[in-house]
Structure 1
């Protein structure tokens, strides 16, 4: 059983718990154990560091003063993940992906060159 710490009373609770059994704080969104409820710490608002607020795609009614949100995505983590994806798409990776997508074309070109070599050797 995986456990998490309650953001309000800091007691250890089951990671699938919908509410904290000690202080009754809601831990999951709308009673659904699969959707985490992100909470702001201190006096900060989640919107200040959220990707959806930065690109103006958020339609949450509490924006820009949201203290808890189910769709929160940290802007810095998102930038870091995007940078890692860019670094992973080197020339070798791009070439490898192109070869995978165009195997039939490469096979046809190979057969063409074999036929050309056979034709030249018999002439």
Structure 2
């Protein structure tokens, strides 16, 4: 359960709209896209990391009241619990490399087969 930023009522964390005040809580009506909202007197850009480093391209900047890209500059961007994306197993690395370069491997295989047939005659 979370609280609505407008009416401060307890609501389901997956709710798309607040059932009490009808404030939109999720971007584009999708439950996986949280929508950050400012209070009545503040703007999100004052506390946003992207506004601070001038990498924000949002058209309502610096007076945005809602934003789906908002990142609080006092919070760390990455958690300590992030799963390691690069596998340490050499066989897995080889499989991924061969999948990425399968066209090149096919061409090299055809050239090798052609050379083997030509040299055997």
Q: Judge same fold: TM > 0.5, yes or no.
A: yes
Query: Structure 2: 5+ residue runs without aligned partners?
Result: 81-87, 89-121
Q: Whole-Å Cα distance in 1 between the matches of residues 7 and 41 of structure 2?
A: 18
Instruction: Choose which of 78, 84, 100 in structure 1 pairs with 2:76.
Output: 78
- Which residue pairs with 1:64 in the alignment? 62
Instruction: Choose which of 38, 51, 70 in structure 1 pairs with 2:36.
Output: 38
SS in 1 for 2:75: helix
Answer whether contact 2:5 2:38 (CA < 8 A) is retained.
no
Which structure is higher in helix share? Answer: 1
Instruction: Choose which of 19, 22, 25 in structure 1 pairs with 2:23.
Output: 25
Q: Whole-Å Cα distance in 1 between the matches of residues 8 and 52 of structure 2?
A: 31
Q: Whole-Å Cα distance in 1 between the matches of residues 60 and 76 of structure 2?
A: 22
SS in 2 for 1:78: coil
Q: Whole-Å Cα distance in 2 between the matches of residues 13 and 77 of structure 1?
A: 24
Answer whether contact 1:51 1:78 (CA < 8 A) is retained.
no
Q: Whole-Å Cα distance in 1 between the matches of residues 54 and 47 of structure 2?
A: 12
- Which residue pairs with 2:11 in the alignment? 13
Answer whether contact 1:47 1:53 (CA < 8 A) is retained.
yes
Once the two structures are superposed, residues 98-117 of structure 1 have per-residue CA deviations (whole angstroms, 9 ceiling, x without a partner) of: xx8xxxxxxxxxxxxxxxxx
TM-score of the superposed pair, with normalisation by structure 1: 0.58
What number of residue pairs does the alignment pair up?
83
Query: Structure 1: 5+ residue runs without aligned partners?
Result: 85-99, 101-123
TM-score of the superposed pair, with normalisation by structure 2: 0.59
CA RMSD of aligned residues (A): 2.4
Moved more, 23-32 or 40-49: 40-49
Once the two structures are superposed, residues 56-98 of structure 1 have per-residue CA deviations (whole angstroms, 9 ceiling, x without a partner) of: 111101001111111001112238x79x9xxxxxxxxxxxxxx
